Structure 1
């Protein structure tokens, strides 16, 4: 077999160093991501209490625990920011994109449970610990995916709230998700995955509206409140 000449060797020899360095970075990312995903699972588990009972003290405790775990997440994103080469965020971000979307959703759920409002992108980035970092940031797509995941979780909460006798919660959720849906309708989404996920939002809205309707015909909520919620939803949709 012919041996490569010196010119070819000089060209290709440095490539292996580049490949090795990139593999080392990806391995470090995977190690950090293992920790992030561990905290993600713990946050999600701590917040599942809302589907069992809506005890204010327990929900407050769960949100507090989630906040503490998010502090651990921010430290891991600090470590991630240090190893990502400048200007190469999009070369590596597929490693942590799914985790970021899930963390955005959980941060939004905490804020909803605490204040009943929609988290904004900057606040989400601060809770995750990626705000104003040098080499990583919160993608708009990841934030929006997180909000769509929130709508699905809240539709589940609307159903479960009824099972443990909290009939006002579905009304609150219905108004909130209707406003979220209206916000998304202001966007001309081109991204395929985001567009498909947004198309599923209408089923979450419908599911919640059915819960509110069922409560109203059973006389479990004030008719005026249910009618007001339905009217708000219709006006928001328009």
Structure 2
């Protein structure tokens, strides 16, 4: 028996496997790039709330941004068809981890702007068209959802400053309350993920900035009467 031929056959199989693997990863990267483009479009639309006239038109801005949700869902559906279900985390999750965190942030920001409430993991998953359980298909990982919430704190601290500039003196007090509750919630978690721990430190800094704005408004006598 010619052992050299057997060895060549084995390595030819390895070569074919590696080529298929590379082809699949490129297909996934291509689909993720399309998802990232739509996510950027939604983020750009929402940035207009920081402008003086944007603060007065939050409902219209939110509706326009939400108009891109169907496209986001299409991207995730196409992506899920390319990824082998039994290899979701072990080999491919890093390809779309950041954009999914970004979409969790976008969805949470939309919910807050419209209701001033916290978007649950289920609400975010429904908005972007994914599931929560592996058995149901493509999922929103809990850590990705939490990362999105921590991005939200940074956006809201910036929103507070621009609200004051636009003459909206009540909003900082409401945002401070929301971020205080969000911070309290995160303190209940035993965060083992180093990235989440670092971002939680950012949340504490964001809350401090908002509280400083609130304090400044209070001592200047600019605290409005609370709305019913």
TM-score clears 0.5: yes
Q: Retained in 1: the 8 A contact 2:130–2:140?
A: yes
Partner of 1:199 in structure 2? Answer: 201
Partner of 1:50 in structure 2? Answer: 49
Question: Secondary structure of the residue that 1:88 maps to in structure 2?
Answer: helix
Partner of 1:160 in structure 2? Answer: 162
Partner of 2:223 in structure 1? Answer: 221
Give 1:53 shift.
Answer: 2.5
For the structure 1 residues 8 and 153, does the alpha-carbon distance in structure 2 shift closer, same or farther, using more than 3 Å as the test?
same
Partner of 2:10 in structure 1? Answer: 11
**What's the TM-score once normalised by structure 2's chain length?**
0.92
Partner of 2:33 in structure 1? Answer: 34
Q: Distance in 2 between matches of 1:73 and 1:161?
A: 29
For the structure 1 residues 140 and 103, does the alpha-carbon distance in structure 2 shift closer, same or farther, using more than 3 Å as the test?
same
- Per-residue CA deviations over 1:191-237 (Å, capped at 9, x if unaligned) read 11111111121101100000000000111114x86xxxxxxxxxxxx
Q: Distance in 2 between matches of 1:69 and 1:24?
A: 29
Q: Distance in 2 between matches of 1:109 and 1:51?
A: 13
Q: Which runs of 5+ in 2 are unaligned?
A: none
Partner of 1:186 in structure 2? Answer: 188
Give 1:55 shift.
Answer: 5.5
Q: Distance in 1 between matches of 2:53 and 2:131?
A: 32
Q: Distance in 2 between matches of 1:14 and 1:168?
A: 66
Q: Which runs of 5+ in 1 are unaligned?
A: 226-238
Q: Retained in 2: the 8 A contact 1:47–1:66?
A: yes
**What's the TM-score once normalised by structure 1's chain length?**
0.88
- Per-residue CA deviations over 1:29-68 (Å, capped at 9, x if unaligned) read 1211121111111101111121113657621111111111
In the alignment of these two chains, the number of paired residues is 222
For the structure 1 residues 17 and 26, does the alpha-carbon distance in structure 2 shift closer, same or farther, using more than 3 Å as the test?
same
Q: Retained in 1: the 8 A contact 2:31–2:75?
A: yes
Partner of 2:96 in structure 1? Answer: 96
Question: Secondary structure of the residue that 1:39 maps to in structure 2?
Answer: helix
**Superposition CA RMSD, Å:** 1.8
For the structure 1 residues 94 and 123, does the alpha-carbon distance in structure 2 shift closer, same or farther, using more than 3 Å as the test?
same
Give 1:4 shift.
Answer: 6.9
